[in-house]
Amino acid sequence: MAVDSIPPIILTQLNYLLNHSPHSIKVEQMWSGSKNPSLLDRFTLVIPFCLDYIKWDVIYNAQFPLLAPDIIFGPEDENFRPYPVGKEGDLMPKNSLSDWNYKDPTRLLSLIHELRSLYMVYQKKRVSEVDDERLKFEISTMYSREGIEMHMSSGVDKPEEVKLAVPLLEMDLNKMVAGSSWRHQQKIYLQVIYPVSRKYLAVTSAPRLKLISSPELKDLFSIDEFRLPPWLEGMCMAEYLPTLEEMLESQIRDAVSSIEVRRKFITALAVPFGRPLEADPVFCRKATFLACSGVFTFLVHFTLPLQFPRQQPALTLQSSQHFHSHPGKPIKSAILQDYPWSPRWDVAQMAERIFDYLVEECLNFKKHCNEVLVQQR
């Protein structure tokens, strides 16, 4: 983004939106609609919605940057009219467009969030109008849940279906991990997709289900390795969700507890290896130690899996004295995992066995480094 090509008033509004929105909004592209093509006054926002994205064009006017921008919605939302137009003389409620103030850097953020909320209402209304008894029943059982987003998709070349994003767990995941630097609130959702059926079916098929989380949560918990409970015949979503949340909460708590297990292991490594040069203080997933064998000095990188100690750490050796000629990076070993390991050992024994293994393995690594240097001559 060429900052010097964006009018300052527009840039201030845009930066505030990107840096303060609770949603991970991004700019897809910027272009100029001005007589001066070097001034970028229009851009496409990619806005998270219902576990997918909607794209809206924000149209400022570089010649009149004090005016509120126009917003152009996607072609599939041509019926979305967030602000009703009244008759002449009618009193209309204030909104973020009518109450625009170019001096306030928060205005674009307020406008986009207001429109996103109105878009949620619009999509829920579309879903409520679908003539599908099973779908209406399922949604009626979940009305007490807060934060559910819905999206009705249809088109000439694709079947009608309703997508739901159901937030799971009432626990505050951010507060469960001490020292986490997560900027956004971490969430886990169940994506539920119902095909629209406009006729009565004696036997209804299970909806398509998928667990989705905030991307940063992977440092704590792997959604991909979580197995969804089976959907039983005749089941509805109100029956399914409590079982799912109970399983999920149990595994999340185990994942938080495993941080301390990994921390104790890294602490135990300091006995044979000395204090680590670097260590992940929050999730305890990585640590690096300095080691030597005679005059050969090298680093030992530990990468601890989420399933530690059931799964052993991955080790990588990195020479401090041998470098590739191009582009001058230090020579590293392949990932090492073929060493003695048992999850039943205490952390002190784990550390000792790894140290004993590396006493021999570092000689092989030194030989490998020397061979690489010979090949580079």
Three-state secondary structure readout of 24-53? CCEEEEEECCCCCCCCCCEEEEEEEECCEE
pLDDT in tens, 199-213: 655 556 789 999 999
Residues 112 and 141 in one domain: no
Residues 25 and 45 in one domain: yes
Residues 109 and 156 in one domain: no
CA contacts within 13 A on the Cβ side of 89 = 0
Residues 35 and 147 in one domain: no
Residues 25 and 117 in one domain: yes
Residues 11 and 67 in one domain: yes
Residue 278: inside a domain, yes or no?
A: no
pLDDT confidence bin for 198, thresholds 50/70/90? low
Residue 270: inside a domain, yes or no?
A: no
Percent of the chain with pLDDT over 70: 94
Contact status, residue 14 vs residue 28, Cβ threshold 8 Å = no
Mean pLDDT estimate for the chain: 90
Residue 362: inside a domain, yes or no?
A: yes
Instruction: Judge whether residue 232 has pLDDT over 70.
Output: yes
Residue bearing the bigger pLDDT, 217 or 92: 217
Residue 273: inside a domain, yes or no?
A: no
pLDDT confidence bin for 376, thresholds 50/70/90? confident
Strand 70-72 with 149-155, pairing? unpaired
Residues 246 and 338 in one domain: no
Closest CA to 107 of 14, 6, 22, 33: 14
pLDDT reported for residue 269:
97
- 261's tokens: 């297990």
Residues 202 and 247 in one domain: yes
CATH number of the domain that 144 lies in?
Answer: 3.10.110
- Coil vs helix vs strand at 11: helix
Q: Which domain holds residue 197?
A: 130-257
Residues 252 and 289 in one domain: no
Residues 317 and 228 in one domain: no
Averaged pLDDT, 51-67: 93
pLDDT in tens, 283-324: 999 999 999 999 999 999 999 999 999 999 999 999 999 898
Distance CA 151, CA 118 (A): 13
Structural domain total, the chain? 3
CA contacts within 13 A on the Cβ side of 336 = 21
Closest CA to 117 of 152, 167, 83: 83
Residue 175: inside a domain, yes or no?
A: yes
Residues 135 and 116 in one domain: no
- 319's tokens: 């020479």
Residue 107: inside a domain, yes or no?
A: yes
Residue 229: inside a domain, yes or no?
A: yes
pLDDT confidence bin for 160, thresholds 50/70/90? confident
pLDDT reported for residue 99:
86
pLDDT reported for residue 185:
86
Instruction: Judge whether residue 27 has pLDDT over 60.
Output: yes
The secondary structure of residue 80, as a DSSP letter, is -
Residues 318 and 362 in one domain: yes
Residue 266: inside a domain, yes or no?
A: no
Distance CA 124, CA 246 (A): 28
Strand 149-155 with 158-168, pairing? antiparallel
User: Cα–chain-centroid distance for residue 299?
Assistant: 31
Distance CA 332, CA 320 (A): 10
